Chains A and B, each alone.
Chain A
Amino acid sequence: MVKKHLIKIVVSQEIGSTLQKKVEAFLQKKHAGVELDFEYEVDSSILGGLLIIDGDQYYDGTLKNQLIKVRKSFK
């Protein structure tokens, strides 16, 4: 049995299948030749965008993160 590489995707609201496919295509490109398994989670606390947890790698495209960056820029 081939072990699939699990990737967790956190979104603020449900995304349509078209967008899902775009996300999965992006990740598949990163893991060429690897079979991927996707786990979607809805978390409104991220406010918007998405957070991809790929093993020990993070792709943080959340609005929450953007606001944190803006907050840091005030310092």
Chain B
Amino acid sequence: MLLAEKSNVFEQLGLTWQEVIFHAISLCLLAVVLWYLLYKPVKKMIQERKTKIQEVFEKNQKLQQEANSSKREYEQLLMQAREEATIVAQEATAKAQESVKSILEEAEKKAEAIVGVAHKETVVEFTRMQNEFKEKAADIIIDIASKIVEREVNEKDNKKFIEECLKEWDK
């Protein structure tokens, strides 16, 4: 009865049970073919892609680790270089300060020598000017004295002076 009811339904749809079985078998065949021709390759492809992606990911991780390690090494080297640079700068500063000190000392000595020479020259020049002044002053004094003597010496003074000379020579 059930079969009869079902074959009635198929007849209402315009299908025979042979056609249905045929279509069912075709569908199964199609499914199998698709399984082998499409599903499996695609799955394989996906799996391969997955594996590749995994490899790439692992490679990236490895590279990342190497990069981090390099970065740490670089930072260490940089710190060392900075320390060395600081030491070099300090040494250079100390050397420069020593040089400056030495140059200043030498300059001071030279300045002292120059001052010494200048002082000597000043003293010599002063002495020379002093002597020159003395001579000129003496010339002026004698000149004035001569004029005064010429004007002021009278007969009496002259006589007295001559008598003193004679007395002196007679000794």
Residues of A within 8 A of B (CB): 11-13, 15-16, 19, 22-23, 26, 29, 44, 47-50, 59, 61, 63-64, 67-68, 70-71, 74-75
- Kindly provide the distance from the CB of B168 to the nearest chain A CB, expressed in whole angstroms: 8
- The stretch among B32-40, B90-98, B115-123, B148-156 that forms the contact with chain A is B148-156
Note all chain A residues with C-beta closer than 8 A to B157.
Answer: 48
Identify the closest chain B residue to A64 (Cβ): B146
Whether a CB of chain A sits under 8 angstroms from the CB of B138 is: yes
Does A22 contact B166, Cβ atoms closer than 8 Å? yes
Whether a CB of chain A sits under 8 angstroms from the CB of B53 is: no
Does A67 contact B150, Cβ atoms closer than 8 Å? no
Whether a CB of chain A sits under 8 angstroms from the CB of B159 is: yes
Main DSSP-derived SS at the B contact region: helix
Note all chain B residues with C-beta closer than 8 A to A49.
Answer: 158, 161-162, 165
> Which 7 pairs between the two chains have the least Cβ-Cβ distance?
A61-B165, A74-B138, A48-B153, A71-B142, A47-B149, A49-B161, A26-B166
Identify the closest chain B residue to A74 (Cβ): B138
Q: How far is the CA of A26 from the CA of B146 in the complex (A)?
A: 28
Identify the closest chain B residue to A16 (Cβ): B159
- 7 A-B interface contacts by CB (under 8 A): A15-B158, A15-B162, A16-B159, A67-B142, A74-B135, A74-B138, A75-B135
Partner of A63, one of B149, B155, B159, B163: B149
Q: How far is the CA of A58 from the CA of B119 in the complex (A)?
A: 49
Knowing A13-B155, A44-B150 touch, does A71 contact B161 (C-beta < 8 A)? no
